[in-house]
A and B are shown apart, each in its own frame.
Chain A
Amino acid sequence: MSAISPTTPEDQLDTLPGYNYAFLDELSKKAVRRATLKAICIPGYQVPFGSRELPISRGWGTGGLQLTLSLIGPGDVVKVIDQGADDSVNAVNIRRLVERTAPDVSTTTDTAEATIIQSRHRTPELKLRQDQIMVYQVPMPEPLRLVERREVETRRMHGEGDYSLMWVALYEDIVRNGRITRAAGYPVMVHHRHIMSPSPIPKWDLPKLHMAENISLFGAGREKRIYAIPPHTSVVPLAFEDYAFEVESFEGKSCAFCGATDTFLVATPQADGSSYYVCSDTAWCADRIAQQEQEGAAK
């Protein structure tokens, strides 16, 4: 899965002429993997790395893509999702890049089948296994940036575990708004040590990170940081005893396609002012519809 990719001569593999296997050259992939290993050793710690140029712009998933490209090898199955959907332009393009530069790697939209899942803004609804790697695209890796502008100071705060400013920000939020209003990128405490930004995934997905079976990797290409959550690691959203953490509520709503009431739903506003809701995770939704059809046919 994550074995060192072979430097196969171009005539042996049907890859794009003039490009290395998985686009990046071998030493670049090695450098990214070294940063990744370090990140796994220190859960939640942001490891700086030399972010490489890619055929997509920084800020469009280059951090996640570098992680994916440095990890894929023969037999891997890659799934790319964007806001839960497999069919967005960005996800399709990233998948195509993988297909064309690594011919022995296949792509899929099936979560269960994938070995590596690159994602923007969502964690799949399906519980992931130990042999799967979750790769997140991260726009802003520094959770303390909102409370402290200076990089030197945020590094000191992480180093000393001095997080009182972050807690004060949450306190102020509660005092002003009666609750913690932060929705996406909600800060979490990883392994009782580092405060980490889980990338802009909704609060809904945070419980899936806690004590997960799978590795979660986070790549910020523009900000040049990699961080990770190894399997079976404690991930606790910051909250107060009397203002507990709560995920988004979709009470009384269900998916217009599959009828699900237990998934993260996205609202689509209608011309008449109302909204209809559908599953954000399109693969999960399609799966459920197929299942329902099967059951219908059996009856």
Chain B
Amino acid sequence: MTTATVTPDAVSDAIATHTDHSPVLAVRDLKKTYGPGCPDCLTLTGPEHNRTTCPSCGTVVACADVSFDLRPGRTLGIVGESGSGKTTVLRSLYGDIEPTSGTAVLNTPGKEPRDLFTLDSQDRRRVRNFEMGMVYQTPRQGLNFGISAGGNVAERLLAADWREIAKIRGRAGELLERMEIPVNRMNAMPGTFSGGMQQRVQVAKALANGPLILLLDEMTSGLDVSVQAGVLDLIQEIQHEANIALIVVSHDLGVVRLLCERAIVMKNGRIVERGITDQILEDPHHPYTQLLVSSVNS
């Protein structure tokens, strides 16, 4: 862990007058590679070479040297083009994929800090159920289409040992209503819902057990613009209400600008720029960020 180096995050944190300085999630040197690997993999890939595949051994370096802190109730955006490794980072944190190396220390109030990547599968699942919520790009990844919308939300509550149907129905109904799903659709199958509604059910499910961190993986990319705006508004409200820390992965700078105080720009599996979102978007330093920003504005 390279805790001694002063990161831009640390600088901006000093600016922000926030009392709680311990991050809820501290990610250090996260790396995920696919292939045999060789000593030159890391030096021969990255944005300066504009490639993620090692020319020497053919290993794909999906992401490397990814470090950041996420503070309680704060928001972080990860932007970058397809294949830049942003989803890899998110999936590793949620436990969908096993990272090659690195640490991600989760700091749950009232508990010892734990490294997510060394937890056993049972604890890992508990973290997925209680401390984290994930909203996937496509509803099919996050929802079970064989059970009702209410059942999808209830699954989380049942995993948390809720054993009273009336209470489960009450809580699931509350969550769905908060996400503007009519209660009379609670027993309907997600397949009968519109795309925007399906995404809102995913959010309700992710929020069921009151997570510390909510992970959004391109959640609005499949929605049309007006529906997108509605969903984003809801996310913003929920985030303020419940004070949930948020990691938003998106290739859409508008989404990140709206939701995130701070952002990370990724390219070819590395972080090329980081800082306060507005700063990055108004005054991009890295050539790739400049390209990204100008391509949106033009």
What are the residues of chain B within 8 A of A175 when measuring CB–CB? 148, 150-151, 169, 187
Given known A164-B158, A164-B159, contact A172–B147 (CB-CB < 8 A): yes
Q: How far is the CA of A176 from the CA of B159 in the complex (A)?
A: 21
Q: How far is the CA of A176 from the CA of B163 in the complex (A)?
A: 18
Q: Which of A174, A175, A241 has the most CB of B within 10 A?
A: A175
What are the residues of chain A within 8 A of B169 when measuring CB–CB? 175
What are the residues of chain A within 8 A of B187 when measuring CB–CB? 175-176
What are the residues of chain A within 8 A of B165 when measuring CB–CB? 171, 174, 240-243
Q: What's the count of A-B pairs with C-beta under 8 Å?
A: 48
Say whether A165 faces chain B, with CB atoms less than 8 Å apart. Answer: yes
Q: How far is the CA of A111 from the CA of B168 in the complex (A)?
A: 45
From 54 to 111 in chain A, residues with beta carbon under 8 angstroms from any chain B beta carbon are: none
- CB-based contact B158/A167 at 8 Å: yes
**From A239, which residue of chain B is reached at the shortest CB distance?**
B163
Q: How far is the CA of A101 from the CA of B270 in the complex (A)?
A: 72
- CB-based contact B148/A172 at 8 Å: yes
What are the residues of chain B within 8 A of A248 when measuring CB–CB? none
- CB-based contact B148/A162 at 8 Å: no
- CB-based contact B154/A160 at 8 Å: no
Contact with A along B181-218 (1 / 0, CB 8 A): 00000010000000000000000000000000000000
Q: How far is the CA of A159 from the CA of B156 in the complex (A)?
A: 19
Interface size class of B (residues with CB under 8 A): 20 to 34
What are the residues of chain B within 8 A of A50 when measuring CB–CB? none
From 137 to 189 in chain A, residues with beta carbon under 8 angstroms from any chain B beta carbon are: 156, 159-162, 164-165, 167-169, 171-172, 174-176
- CB-based contact A162/B159 at 8 Å: yes
- CB-based contact A171/B125 at 8 Å: no
**From A160, which residue of chain B is reached at the shortest CB distance?**
B122
What are the residues of chain A within 8 A of B155 when measuring CB–CB? 164-165, 167-168
What are the residues of chain B within 8 A of A164 when measuring CB–CB? 155-156, 158-159
Q: How far is the CA of A180 from the CA of B250 in the complex (A)?
A: 43
Q: How far is the CA of A268 from the CA of B151 in the complex (A)?
A: 38
The distance from the CB of A133 to the nearest CB of chain B, in whole angstroms, is 34
Indicate which residue in B125, B147, B164 contacts A240 across the interface (CB closer than 8 Å): B164
Q: Chain A binding site: helix, strand, loop or mixed by DSSP?
A: helix
What are the residues of chain B within 8 A of A162 when measuring CB–CB? 125, 159
Q: How far is the CA of A241 from the CA of B158 in the complex (A)?
A: 12
**From A176, which residue of chain B is reached at the shortest CB distance?**
B187
- CB-based contact A160/B158 at 8 Å: no
Contact with A along B50-92 (1 / 0, CB 8 A): 0000000000000000000000000000000000000000000
The distance from the CB of A191 to the nearest CB of chain B, in whole angstroms, is 17
Given known A168-B154, A172-B147, A172-B148, contact A160–B125 (CB-CB < 8 A): yes
**From B124, which residue of chain A is reached at the shortest CB distance?**
A160
**From B164, which residue of chain A is reached at the shortest CB distance?**
A241
What are the residues of chain A within 8 A of B122 when measuring CB–CB? 160-161
- CB-based contact A171/B163 at 8 Å: no
- CB-based contact B164/A168 at 8 Å: no
What are the residues of chain A within 8 A of B159 when measuring CB–CB? 162, 164, 167
What are the residues of chain B within 8 A of A242 when measuring CB–CB? 164-166
The distance from the CB of B298 to the nearest CB of chain A, in whole angstroms, is 48
What are the residues of chain A within 8 A of B156 when measuring CB–CB? 164
From 124 to 183 in chain B, residues with beta carbon under 8 angstroms from any chain A beta carbon are: 125, 144, 147-148, 150-151, 154-156, 158-159, 163-166, 168-169
19 more CB-based (< 8 A) A-B contacts, given A159-B121, A164-B156, A164-B158: A160-B122, A164-B155, A165-B155, A167-B159, A168-B151, A168-B158, A171-B158, A171-B168, A172-B147, A172-B148, A174-B165, A176-B187, A240-B163, A240-B164, A241-B164, A241-B165, A242-B165, A242-B166, A243-B165
What are 26 A-to-B residue pairs whose CB atoms are below 8 Å? A156-B121, A159-B121, A160-B121, A160-B122, A160-B125, A161-B122, A164-B156, A164-B158, A167-B159, A168-B151, A169-B147, A171-B151, A171-B158, A171-B165, A171-B168, A172-B151, A174-B165, A175-B151, A175-B187, A240-B163, A240-B164, A241-B163, A241-B164, A242-B164, A242-B165, A243-B165
> Chain B interface (Cβ within 8 Å of chain A)?
121-122, 125, 144, 147-148, 150-151, 154-156, 158-159, 163-166, 168-169, 187
